[in-house]
Amino acid sequence: MGNVGAVFLFEWRRSLTLPRMAWWGMLAAFPVFIVALIRFTAYRSPPPSNWTWLFFALVPMLVSMLGTLLWTTPAISAELERRSWVYLAVRPNGGTAVLLGKYLAAVTWVIPPALLGLSIAVPLADTGDSWRIWWTMVRLLCLSCPAYGAIYLLLGILLPRRAMVLAVAYTLIFELVIAWVPAVINKLTIQYRLRAILVQWCDLSDIAVRPSGVLALIGDDPAWQHVVILMLIPPTLLLIAVAILRWSEFSASAESDV
């Protein structure tokens, strides 16, 4: 664990550069900008349930997905491209430490700007139900970031040479398309779980009581079940990622995986 901590701290120190801090600021500003745009340009303020869906789409979905995609997907591929992987891999359990340390650094790097953006955007929206929306989004954020981070990390290890392409393809196909298919397959997506929790925690009963197709989009499982599944996803995927990493061969001389 000491090694993981060393990687975590090293990665955090490396992240304190101007370009990366600019990204941090952009992630924080993004929900604020969108909410301000709606708040000050819309003819009439949207109803609270619409605000809830908007915050859901902006923070636990977009900011969380974008932040973790940018940070965890290239965790290993960046080291391979830079040819720095070999220095890490010849340390005792070095590969595993780098993987887990970078994952933790990424998750803890993405949550603060999302939280900051949320904390500014929710009062700005003035929904009348600010506290509940804020608290729900914070909890969803804390569930979504680790889950998305683990997925992107795994995808990055599966195909290091095309890590970003694979991650973007996964996001578009699974999280943005299949997640909205009213069939059992949408249960494989993170978004389905988050959406189901949102509906229950925010008591969006006007949607929940609608029959057939809508039910397939949110399911009827209790919220705790989705929470447990979302909490189990990161350790499960990280274990798989570590196993793949230990099995894989990354040749320094070939500058690529072989």
Least Å from the CB of residue 249 to another protein: 5
Task: Report, in Å, the least distance between residue 114 CB and another protein.
Answer: 25
17 alpha carbon, distance to own chain's centre: 22
Residue 246, interface with another protein (CB under 8 A)?
Answer: yes
The CA distance from 95 to 241, in Å, is 11
Segment lying near another protein (by CB under 8 A), choices 40-48, 86-94, 186-194, 230-238: 86-94
Taking the least distance from each CB to another protein, the nearer of 17 and 236 is 17
**Closer to another protein at the Cβ: 93 or 108?**
93
**Using the rule CB under 8 A, which residue among 12, 29, 94, 120 binds another protein?**
94
Min dist. Cβ of residue 251 to another protein (A):
6
Region from 78-86, 177-185, 193-201, 231-239 binding another protein, contact rule CB under 8 A: 78-86
What distance in Å separates the CA atoms of residue 40 and residue 48, rounded to the nearest whole number?
16
Q: Does 255 bind another protein (CB under 8 A)?
A: yes
- Count of residues binding another protein (CB under 8 A)? 33
Q: Where are the alpha helices (DSSP H) in the chain?
A: 2-14, 18-41, 48-56, 64-72, 77-82, 85-89, 94-125, 130-158, 163-170, 190-201, 205-208, 213-218, 223-247
Q: Which stretch binds another protein (CB under 8 A): 7-15, 61-69, 122-130, 147-155?
A: 7-15
Rounded CA separation 52/64 (Å): 16
**Residue 146 exposure: Cα atoms within 13 Å on the Cβ side:** 20
Supply 124's token pair.
């700005």
Q: Is 251 helix (H, G, I), strand (E, B) or coil?
A: strand
- What is the contact surface with another protein in residues (CB under 8 A)? 2-3, 6-7, 10, 13-14, 17, 82-95, 97-98, 246, 249-255, 258
